[in-house]
Chain A
């Protein structure tokens, strides 16, 4: 029986890296965009009543960069699917 352990290891490493990267990028984009949202304070279980950590302008820029990176990763995923 031949088991391609090297392929399996690569699948594990690549999929973990891509999935974690995408989730982290989207999460940071959401944090960035939160700077633009009104903060009534304590409106939910995951909401801090404190002011946002970054200014709206900086947050939006960070969010756009993160989302751009996500678009590139998803685009590469589509390329892998098609080719």
Chain B
């Protein structure tokens, strides 16, 4: 297949992944704010979309792409990147259909690993980097965020126990607007960068950009618009799971969870320790739920999420490997992967229409059993 054609295909596929990344991760910033009523659902996704777009322009350090150090970049081609992206997109769609807040970054890494393994052999995959950059942070990030959010929630209830109820609710809801906005901005910066990095890498491997080049403006703009549009579409199923099915979240808990998430994400980004935004935010929500009362948390949901996290990387890797095997057969194989991936994606969307979740019914879920008001 002509190099320029496959590059165009990869760029479009990367932008589609960016779009799915956006709606998959809207919940990270806005789920608890929507659940507590701090933001109206439609306003929440609009704000998150705008801040994701703004975040995309804050940094262009594409040297730290998601694939950096995970696979040997000199041994892969744009076709392999395409196959990896297909694996990531399909896994994102499956977990969205199930309402599971899995990591889009892990899906992308898994897809790239599977595709690279099949195309260039296992030696092209840096497994030690996978363990250090993916597996370990995946275990640590939700635990760290959960413990901090638990302590923050406990303190929030303890300190405001004598405060006027209206003032407390209004104050924490206002705080939620700020903290959720910070997460949305950070998400745009981190996750739009990943797609920019993938597209830039593709342009370099396709010979259309000099090695070491930064992303052209059109790459920054298109990646920012794709993730912003995806965010605005709202991954309502995951928002419902995180906002309503973990615990009956109150403004105190929402603010504590979001402040914790923002602090952990910004600290880890600034200090160079890679953590999954999704897992940080999910850990914070569970911690905030437990901070009011342990029994108010649906721990069975935690088990399902942990299972989804554990299989995200291998599942995306399997899909990426299959796509890579087909796509590297030749142009016909690439076309089959594109058509097959589109058909499966369309089927998942059609399945979602049987039980649609949107801005109007996102909060219509029976809350967990009522609990004792405060931990204090």
Contact = CB atoms under 8 A, between A and B. Distances in A.
Interface stretch (B260-268, B303-311, B322-330): B260-268
B8 interface: no
Given A26-B156, A33-B171, 7 more contacts: A18-B263, A23-B155, A37-B167, A43-B166, A47-B162, A80-B269, A81-B58
A8 B166 CA distance: 39
Given A15-B144, A27-B156, A37 B267 contact: no
Given A34-B164, A37-B167, A26 B175 contact: yes
Interface of chain A, main secondary structure: helix
Interface in B254-302: 255-256, 259-260, 262-264, 266-273, 275
Contact of A20 (B152, B167, B175): B152
Contacts of B271: 7, 10-11, 14
B168 interface: yes
Ordered nearest first, which 7 A-B pairs have the shortest CB separation?
A: A44-B165, A27-B159, A19-B263, A37-B164, A1-B128, A30-B171, A34-B163
Contacts of A38: 164
Given A14-B271, A27-B155, A46-B165, A19 B160 contact: no
B82 interface: no
Interface stretch (B15-23, B32-40, B178-186, B207-215): B178-186
A31 to B, nearest CB: 5
A72 to B, nearest CB: 13
B93 to A, nearest CB: 29
Interface of B: 55, 58-59, 128, 131-132, 136, 140, 144-145, 147-149, 151-153, 155-157, 159-168, 171-172, 175, 178-179, 182, 185-186, 189, 255-256, 259-260, 262-264, 266-273, 275, 373-374
Contacts of B171: 26, 29-30, 33
Contact of A81 (B152, B159, B186, B264): B186
Contacts of B132: 1-3
A74 interface: yes
Contact of B151 (A1, A20, A29): A20
Given A3-B132, A15-B263, A34-B168, A46 B156 contact: no
A4 B273 contact: yes
A2 B255 CA distance: 35
A1 B131 contact: yes
A26 B232 CA distance: 29
Contact of A7 (B131, B155, B273, B373): B273
Contacts of A27: 155-156, 159-160
B266 A30 contact: no
B266 A77 contact: yes
Given A1-B132, A44-B165, A50-B162, A7 B255 contact: no
B96 to A, nearest CB: 27
Contacts of A26: 156, 171-172, 175, 255
Interface of A: 1-4, 7-8, 10-12, 14-16, 18-20, 22-24, 26-31, 33-34, 37-39, 43-48, 50, 52-53, 74, 77-78, 80-82
A19 B266 CA distance: 11
A37 to B, nearest CB: 4
Task: Select the residue from A2, A24, A34, A39 with max chain B CB neighbours within 10 A.
Answer: A34
Nearest to B130: A1
B273 A31 contact: no
Contact of B259 (A2, A23, A46): A23
Contacts of B268: 11, 15
A31 B156 CA distance: 10
B182 A20 contact: no
Contacts of B55: 81
Nearest to B140: A8
25 contacts: A1-B132, A4-B272, A11-B268, A11-B275, A15-B145, A15-B263, A15-B264, A16-B144, A16-B148, A19-B152, A19-B259, A19-B264, A20-B148, A23-B152, A23-B153, A26-B255, A31-B163, A33-B171, A34-B167, A44-B165, A46-B163, A47-B164, A78-B185, A80-B266, A81-B266
Nearest to B174: A26
B156 A12 contact: no
